[in-house]
Structure 1
Amino acid sequence: MPRTPSPVQGGSGLLRLEVQIAAPDLRPFLGGNALPGVWSFAAEAPGPHVAVVALVHGNEIAGAVVLDRWLRAGLRPVRGRLSLVFANVDAYARFDPADPTASRFLDEDMNRLWDEETLEGGRRSTELRRARVLRPFFDGVDILLDLHSMLWPSDPLMLVGRSARAAELALSLGVPPLVVSDQGHASGKRLIDYAPLSRRAAILVEAGSHWESATIGTMEAAGAALLRASGVVAPEHPVLAPPPAAPAKARLAEVTRTVVARTPAFAFVQAFRGGEVVKRRNTLIALDGEAEIRSPHDDCLLVMPSLRTMPGQTAVRLARFVG
Structure 2
Amino acid sequence: MHDIPGRSPARPPTVAVNIARPDLRRWLPGNCGIPGAWSFTADAPGPHVALTAIVHGNEIAGAVVLDRLLKWITRASLRPARGRLTLVFCNLEAFARFDAGDPTATRFLDEDMNRVWSETELDGPRRSVELRRARELRPLVDSIDLLADLHSMLWQSDPLILAGSTDKAARLGLAIGLPQTVVADAGHTGGRRLIDYARFARPDTDAAAVLVEAGDHWEEPTVQRMEQACLRLLHLAGIMPPQALPPIAPAPPPRLARVSRTVTAATRSFAFLRDFRGGEVIPHANTLIALDGEAEIRTPHDDCLLVMPTPMVPRGHTAVRMARFVS
Counterpart for residue 58 of structure 2: 59
d(CA) in 2 for partners of 1:106, 1:320: 35
SS in 2 for 1:79: coil
Q: TM-score of the superposition, structure 2-length normalised? A: 0.93
Superposition CA RMSD, Å: 1.2
Counterpart for residue 242 of structure 2: 235
Q: TM-score of the superposition, structure 1-length normalised? A: 0.94
Match of 2:263 among 235, 252, 259: 259
d(CA) in 2 for partners of 1:104, 1:235: 36
Counterpart for residue 133 of structure 2: 130
d(CA) in 2 for partners of 1:55, 1:308: 22
Match of 1:226 among 222, 233, 241: 233
- Given the alignment of the two structures, is residue 213 of structure 1 paired with residue 220 of structure 2, yes or no? yes
Aligned partners of 2:306 and 2:320 also within 8 Å: yes
SS in 1 for 2:312: coil
Counterpart for residue 184 of structure 2: 181
Counterpart for residue 42 of structure 1: 41
- Given the alignment of the two structures, is residue 282 of structure 1 paired with residue 289 of structure 2, yes or no? no
Counterpart for residue 3 of structure 2: none
d(CA) in 2 for partners of 1:125, 1:166: 29
SS in 2 for 1:45: coil
Any stretches of 5+ residues in structure 1 without a counterpart? 1-9
SS in 2 for 1:19: coil
Counterpart for residue 5 of structure 2: none
Aligned partners of 2:41 and 2:82 also within 8 Å: yes
Higher alpha-carbon deviation: 97-106 or 190-199 = 190-199
Counterpart for residue 15 of structure 2: 17
Bigger fraction of residues in strand: 1
**Which string of whole-angstrom CA distances, capped at 9 and with x for unpartnered residues, describes residues 15-73 of structure 1?**
11100000100000000011111000001221100010001000000000000011111
d(CA) in 2 for partners of 1:100, 1:11: 22
SS in 2 for 1:271: coil
Match of 2:194 among 186, 191, 194: 191
Runs of 4+ more than 2 Å apart = 10-14, 234-238, 242-245
- Given the alignment of the two structures, is residue 78 of structure 1 paired with residue 81 of structure 2, yes or no? yes
Match of 2:30 among 29, 32, 37: 32
Counterpart for residue 156 of structure 1: 159
SS in 1 for 2:275: coil
Aligned partners of 2:11 and 2:312 also within 8 Å: no
d(CA) in 2 for partners of 1:284, 1:51: 41
Aligned partners of 2:290 and 2:298 also within 8 Å: yes
